[in-house]
Amino acid sequence: MTLTKRIIACLDVNAGRVVKGVQFVDIVDAGDPAELARRHAEAGTDEIVLLDITATHEQRGTLIDTVERTAKHLFVPFTVGGGIRTVEDAAAIFDAGADKVSINSAAIARPELIGEIGSRFGAQAVIVAIDARRAKSDGDPVADAEVFVSGGRKPAGRKVLEWAKEAESRGAGEILLTSMDADGTRTGFDCELTARVSHAVRIPVIASGGAGTAEHFADVLLQGKADAALAASIFHFGIANVRELKEAIAKRGVPMRLPC
Amino acid sequence: MIAVIDYKAGNLTSVMKALHAVGADAVATSDPNVVLQAEKLVLPGVGHFSATAFLDEQGLTNAIANRVQAGYPFLGICVGLQWLFEGSAEEPDAAGLGAFSGYCERFIDGMKVPHVGWNSIQVRESRLLKGVANGEFVYFTHSYRAPVVNGTVAVTEYGLPFTAAVERDNIMGVQFHPEKSGPVGLQILKNFVGLP
């Protein structure tokens, strides 16, 4: 009996449609988040994250509808992020069927939001997402890694390690750490940065950004000390299915959920 | 009718959805009179043990105790399982139902808390866990753990062994979230819904 490390599929959604990521060969509608989420769960993915990448005010209604449709037939943990600025925003997402919300820029702007959502819905329901870039200065680029907001475009003027610790002390249940340097490269997660964050806090850390092969997942779960690894397009790497991915990771000695 | 007790701790959407998916006639309620008419009770809950104080304030504790004593099936989920014990270190001032002896404690130092994710369970003969294989995985998210007692029907381990499920007659509880544990979790809810 060992707590397994989680493989999380992220669906990037714009106006109710998945804009990149996974493709199942026999899927009816490859852009429908509800169908994709259900297929991921059936295939053995441990958790689903739906990220509203535009998150404009006009599209809130669409997002709620998308969350509702996606949650309807989904019986694994389901996180929703993008544009959540208030407890009311979070409440509407939970009512629609999400189990956790992921907050990013809004938590930097007003850190109290973490505790406000946590005290009403439980700490386990709040994920603080951190978009990180290694520092370009002469010092230690990992220890001095910086937080970016607004989809990774704007520096927040905060250091990653210090912000992760603050998020924990304010009641975050998990940290979702995305390496902006690694994101999209498919050359592997930033294991060094992930390990540093994982050591700095006592809450679970989800690593994101850079997944290219099963080895990359194993690396970040072992050397990177991550508790979970997330990718938007885990089947794009010549891996037929999540079971195969998990078996390859398990071969490296990482505990994986391989259902009986 | 199954009464899903709403004590304002987290959201009930997932539990209601899963119960409906296995064909249950479930309603969410904070009304003791509805509880007194229900054929089965579900006490969900993610959040803090102190939220169970709401049960006393609303007269729900007596209504639940009344139904449980009369032999109607009861299922506590997460904090709902912990409430079946005498209490929890999370909120020493709030008493549990005391259907099982012992107190819930925080996970030991050195472990990441909360215990979040899929862990496997060792099961023994149980009506609630009928059809669930030994070593099957279920989804947990909690910071306190219930002790292993006589009524424990499933054990898991995180630092130390703790109770993943209890069952004595029709009093049942699960520390994990069956509503988030895929087909295995739905099987468990189906077993509960199908109890006579």
Say what the pTM is.
Answer: 0.94
Chain B residues near residue A123 by CB distance under 8 angstroms: 114, 143
Which of A46, A87, A99 to mutate to test binding with chain B, by most B CBs within 10 Å of its CB? A99
DSSP state of B52: G
Contacts of residue A54, defined as CB under 8 A and 6 or more positions apart, other chains included, come to A14, A15, A82
B70/chain A closest Cα distance in angstroms: 32
- CA angle, B101 as apex, B99 and B104 as ends, to 5°? 105
Question: Which among A225, A224, A203, A233 is positioned nearest to A100, based on CA atoms?
Answer: A203
| Model confidence pLDDT, tens digit, residues A64-116 | 999 999 999 999 999 999 989 999 999 999 999 999 999 999 999 999 999 99
**A75, A122, A204 member nearest B186 (Cβ):** A75
Asked whether the beta carbons of A104 and A131 are under 8 A apart, the reply is yes
Per-residue pLDDT reduced to its tens digit, B69-99: 999 999 999 999 999 999 999 888 889 999 9
A227 given a catalytic annotation: no
* pLDDT reading at A118 higher than 50: yes
Euclidean distance between the first and the last CA atom of chain B, given in angstroms as a whole number: 12
Check: complex ipTM more than 0.90: yes
Q: Which residue reads 């409430």 in tokens?
A: B83
Task: Locate the domains of chain A by residue range.
Answer: 6-251
Q: Quick one: fold of A6-251?
A: TIM Barrel (3.20.20)
Residues of B annotated as part of the active site: 78, 177, 179
Residue A31, pLDDT score: 83
**CATH among 3.40.50.880, 3.20.20.140, 3.30.420.40, 3.40.50.2300 for B2-193:** 3.40.50.880
